[in-house]
Each structure stands twice: as C-alpha cells, then as structure tokens.
Amino acid sequence: MYRAPLRDMRFVLHELLGDDRLSAYFASVDYSGELADSILDEAAKFGEGVLEPINQSGDVEGARWTPEGVQVPQGFKAAYASYIESGWSQLAVGEAEGGQGMPHLLNAAVEEIMFASNMALYLGTSLAHGAVGAIVASGTQGITEHVVPKLVSGEWMATMNLTESQAGSDLALLRTRAVAEGEHYRVFGQKIFITYGDHDMTDNIVHLVLARIDGAPAGTRGISMFLVPKFLLNADGSPGAPNDVRCISIEHKLGLHGSPTCVMAFGEDQGAIGYLLGEPNSGLAHMFIMMNAARLSVGIQGLAQSERAFQQALDWSRNRLQGKAPGELTPGPVAIIHHPDVKRMLLSMKARIEAMRVLAYTAGIALDTAHRDPDAGVRAAALSRGELLIPIVKGWCTEAAIGVTSTGIQVHGGMGFIEETGAAQFLRDVRVASIYEGTTAIQSNDLIGRKLGRDRGAAMAALIKDLMADLDALRATDLDTKAAKNAAVESLVLLRDVTEGLLHLQTETPVRALAVSVPYLELCGLVIAGALMARSAGVAAQALQAGSEEASFYKAKLRTVRFYVDQVLPEAYGLARVVKAGAASVTDTDVALI
C-alpha cells in the first residue's frame, strides 16, 4: 500500500531548497512552508484514500471502447469528481486565470503523490495546466473566457493531438488539414496515441490539434494549432451539439490500462469545427507551452512509479522469510532484507529515487524563479536553467525508473513476475514514460541541439559553477559527507570537460554528437543529481550535529547519499567514456551491417 514519502519531500522543499524565495515570490497567495505542508498532507490523504484503492483494479478492468463513447474503469469517474470538488485542478494555475497560483515546486510534489497513487487516472487531469497556458497565450478573448474557467475548475478536460500514424514524432509529416470557414475552420484528419481523447468523466473535452491550413508551407513551418471541442460551444459557453470528432478505437497497451489512449477521427462528415489559436503557421511554438509542462510531469511520473515500486519491494523484503543471514548463527529463515544483494538492490532503488526527487524539484524552483523574481537578469538566467533541466528530468528520471521498477520485480523474485503481487504493474505503467512526450533521444537532441547549442553551453557552465560553489561552502566534517563532496566535485569536473568536448564535436561533426546525445543526457542526470545529493548529506550532517530529534531520518539520508556516490555515481565515468570516444562506432557503421 502506497504511503506518500512526506518526510523526504519536506526535506527537499524546506531544508535543501528553502522556503524564503517562494514565500517572497508568492506572497499574494500567502505561501509558506506551513501552507505547503498542509497541502501535501491533504494530497497524501486524497492520493492514499481515493486514488490508490482503484489503481490495481483499474489496471485489471481497463478502459473500454463502445460505439457511444469510451468508458473508464469502475471508480474512476467518482474519484475524478472528488478531485475537482476538492480543488486540486486549480492548484498550480495562476490567480489571473482563476487558479490558486501555487508554485511549480509545490505542484511537482503534489503531482508525485497523485501519479504514484494512480498514474492511469491522474494522466487525464495533468494535461489541463499546460492547456490553460497555451490557450491563454494564443487564444482569442472569447475562447479564453469560455474555455479556460472550465479547464481550471476541472469541469472539462484537455488533450494534446500531435501524433499521426504515418509521422510518429516527425511533425513535419503531419497531414491533418484545416479549411477556413468564416470565423472558424473545418479540421480533417486522424490522430493516434491521444491520452484521454474520449471518456465519460466530463461533459466536454477540449482538443488542441496541430493541423496544416490548406496552402500552408511544407514542414514544421506550416503547422497551426486549433482548439476543437468535443461538443460545440453555445453562446454562453455551455456544451451544445456534438462536433464532428470521434474516437474510433482505443489502443491495447503494455500498461496504463485504465487510461484510454485513443485514435481520434476529425472531420469524417462535414469537418470538425476548430478555432485557430495564435497566428497561422505558428502552432508548434504554442503547442510547446503545453509540451514543456507535460515533459516535466512525465519526469515526475518516473519518480512516482519508482517510489511505488520501492515501497512495495521494501515491504516484501521485510516480510518474505527465506534462507539464513550470511555470517549469522541463528537457525531458520530470515527476512530477505538481511541478504546482502537484496539490501544492495533496495539501496539502489532508494538512492536513485531520492536523486530523481531532488533533481525534479530543483527544476520546479528554477521555473518559479524564472516567472516570479523581480530582477529581470535573475529571471532570464533561471529560465535558461529550467529549460536546460527539463529534458534531463524527463529523460533521465524516466530511463532510471525503468531500471528501478524492474529491480522492484527482482526483489520479489518469482513472485514479482506474478501479476497478483502488483509489482509488475509499476514497470508496465512507467515503461511508456521514456517514449511519450518525446522519446529520450528527442530529449537528448533538444538538450545538445537547442539548450547547449543556443548559448554554446553557457547555461550548463553556470549551473556547474553554482553547484561547485555550493559544494565549496559545504562543511564536511563526517566521513560520509566528505566522500559525497569529493565524489560530486570530481564528477562535476568530468561533466564540465565532457560538455566542452561535446560542444566541439557538435561544431565539427554534428551527427557524431547526436550519436552520443543520450549517454550525455544520462551523464548530466547522474552528475547534477549527485551534486544535489552531496548537498543533502551536508544538511543531514548539520542536523545530526545540532542534536535533531529525527536522528534516524538524517542517518538514513547520509547512508543513502553514501551509497549513491559509491555505487551509482561511478556510472558517470563509463558514460563519459562513451561520449568522448563512442560516436564513431555508431556513425561509421553501415546500416546494412546491423
């Protein structure tokens, strides 16, 4: 049974990242550490009490397609009604749009709880925040006034319609077209892999659709974005007649069975009525507002499912009796947690999870700084940092989650391969996270092509410099903190050198840089998180020296960080070697030889 890891969340929020900045940035909503704790307590109650109990049953039952529309698993509709009644949909939406205006950082923590409790259900709700941002930035006053309040309240849901069967991730190849008709357009085409494209939880669904206006330029330069409602809007904004939009099937997936992934047909009859968002041919830029919000959320999905897998594996290991403890004279079976390799697997899971958490939350506070700091220079630097971190969070956390959830199955032994224990669901559900919203390669190409390339690595250099300064200021008086500090500094030097080499490679032979972009992204995740983990060790050591009453928590934090720098961070050296010297083995191999 899932229990929100509130103590570690609060450690990162309050003790590592601190409350002062956010309290100043969000004074208008009276933000404070105490308010954040209260919200996290309520999120834990909701996740554990409402969402988690229908997680496994939703996986077994799955969403169901019918000619009348898609039906979600039993309990989902009631849980969603409770979700909007409790106001969770409003949490991170700005005050100007009718939301509660809470920080990205706090929203990241709440999302972790919700995704861990029931990823399949929460997926449908998580797209609304990004959709609101995209519509506010590009919609007409009428569209904004009618649609945004419904999304903020949760009365309606939103979807993101990009992918087509013949194009996949290559949006330049999309064929969905739009024909002007007065003040609106008629949209014709088919989209696949649309999360919650149809369901029976709300009385309307707002589809944000990428399409090409007839006569538009080829490629991504000719893509526009349209708002296409499932039901047309009456003059007062209420749902009216059905639009020419239909879910023609749902996908049969490896995991996330409770979440309907739809094939959507637009314009099978007269054409689906859609409203242009922004200027013609500028759709991709507007859609990226929604996509960037979604990418951070997907990284948090990796963290959340890893935490679920760890909690279940830990509970199993404490109760499963098997074998004798090595070196012990006591007869009879012992809990398998006493076996060294089981202990190693659990520590590996825990260390990677805590590293994911601190990395994802750091990205969240960077976005808050970018939007709220009074100094324009600070805002610009923070925005560059947040944009740099998002592909790393999305790519590294989701790739790491595949390993962590797989390890959770391994801890269970043969019983992990049996669906009844539930251990396999976490791996099945999270496996898509490294694929959707841009595969890991798309994230890594974005990292080196856009985020490093646009400023020749200046944002990465600034991040490394700041992390180095934090480590220089770290008072390492105990062996664990000293080891963490030394390892983190060494790995940051390694990352700095590898980044410089990659920038040179990108200039000289771009295709070779792309061939090692994923190992570079993984190197970034390991090392940046390692530096943040070393800072965590310093905070924990200071608390112990001050005689904290929570000594067991801080001792556990020190041991987890020590495991990370001893057994996880060394992976950086292998990745660095690949980035430095592994590109030619890819680019110089003829595809006929594969």
Q: What is the pLDDT of residue 237?
A: 86
Mean of pLDDT values over 544-555: 97
Q: Is the pLDDT of residue 139 over 80?
A: no
Q: What is the pLDDT of residue 199?
A: 98
Q: Is the pLDDT of residue 318 over 90?
A: yes
Mean of pLDDT values over 386-401: 98
Cβ pair 247, 210 in contact under 8 A: no
CA triplet 322, 408, 3: central angle to 5 degrees?
100
Q: What is the pLDDT of residue 8?
A: 98
Phi, then psi, of 439 in degrees rounded to 5: -60, 170
CA dihedral 240, 241, 243, 244 (to 10 degrees): 180
Residue 294, Cα to own-chain centre: how many angstroms? Answer: 7
Cβ pair 294, 388 in contact under 8 A: no
Crossing angle of the two packed helices 340-372 and 517-545, in degrees rounded to 10: 90
Q: What is the pLDDT of residue 447?
A: 97
Dihedral sign from CA coordinates of 529, 535, 541, 543: negative
Residue 44, Cα to own-chain centre: how many angstroms? Answer: 19
User: Across 41-50, 128-137, 219-228, which has the greatest mean pLDDT?
Assistant: 41-50
Per-residue HEC secondary structure of 507-522 comes to HHCHHHHHHCHHHHHH
Mean of pLDDT values over 270-282: 94
What b/e sequence results for 27-60 when a residue is b if at least 16 CB atoms lie within 10 Å of its CB, and e otherwise?
eeeebebebbeebbeebbebbbebbbbbbeebbe
Give the chain's radius of gyration (CA, Å).
24
What is the percent of the chain with per-residue pLDDT over 70, rounded to a whole number? 100
Cβ pair 369, 25 in contact under 8 A: yes
Q: What is the pLDDT of residue 524?
A: 98
With bands split at pLDDT 50, 70 and 90, how would you rate the model's confidence at 531?
A: very high
Work out whether strand 184-195 and strand 205-213 pair parallel, antiparallel, or are unpaired: unpaired
Cβ pair 577, 496 in contact under 8 A: no
Q: Is the pLDDT of residue 360 over 80?
A: yes
Q: Is the pLDDT of residue 328 over 90?
A: no
93 class by beta-carbon count within 10 Å (0-12 exposed, 13-18 middle, 19+ buried): buried
Q: Is the pLDDT of residue 329 over 90?
A: no
Q: What is the pLDDT of residue 491?
A: 98
Q: Is the pLDDT of residue 433 over 80?
A: yes
Catalytic residue among 15, 112, 387, 437: 437
**Residues pairing with 250 in the sheet:** 262
With bands split at pLDDT 50, 70 and 90, how would you rate the model's confidence at 295?
A: very high
Q: Identify the weakest region by mean pLDDT among 12-21, 36-45, 328-337, 410-419.
A: 328-337
Q: What is the pLDDT of residue 399?
A: 98
Q: Is the pLDDT of residue 358 over 90?
A: yes
Q: Is the pLDDT of residue 320 over 80?
A: yes
How far is Cα 291 from Cα 275, in angstroms, rounded to an integer?
20
How far is Cα 501 from Cα 505, in angstroms, rounded to an integer?
6
What b/e sequence results for 395-420 when a residue is b if at least 16 CB atoms lie within 10 Å of its CB, and e otherwise?
bbbbbbbbebbbbbbebbeeebeeee
How far is Cα 404 from Cα 526, in angstroms, rounded to an integer?
14
Under DSSP, is residue 154 helix (H, G, I), strand (E, B) or coil? Answer: coil
- Taking CA atoms, 531 is separated from 19, 77, 341, 576, in Å, by 20, 43, 26, 16
Q: How many CB atoms lie within 10 A of CB 511?
A: 11
Q: Which two tokens stand for residue 398?
A: 């989701």
- Taking CA atoms, 290 is separated from 128, 195, 345, 346, 570, in Å, by 9, 14, 36, 36, 36
Per-residue HEC secondary structure of 30-42 comes to CCCHHHHHHHHHH
Under DSSP, is residue 182 helix (H, G, I), strand (E, B) or coil? Answer: coil
Q: How many CB atoms lie within 10 A of CB 10?
A: 16
Under DSSP, is residue 278 helix (H, G, I), strand (E, B) or coil? Answer: coil
Q: What is the pLDDT of the chain when averaged over all its residues?
A: 95
437 labelled catalytic: yes
Q: What is the pLDDT of residue 276?
A: 95
With bands split at pLDDT 50, 70 and 90, how would you rate the model's confidence at 477?
A: confident
Which residue from 165, 259, 257, 174 is spatially nearest to 210, judged by alpha carbons?
174
For 146, residues 6+ apart whose C-beta sits below 8 A from its C-beta are 233, 237
Cβ pair 77, 200 in contact under 8 A: yes
Mean of pLDDT values over 483-503: 97
Q: What is the pLDDT of residue 138?
A: 85
What type of residue sits at position 502? L
pLDDT in tens, 81-125: 999 999 999 998 989 899 999 999 999 999 999 999 999 999 999
575 class by beta-carbon count within 10 Å (0-12 exposed, 13-18 middle, 19+ buried): buried
DSSP state of 336: G
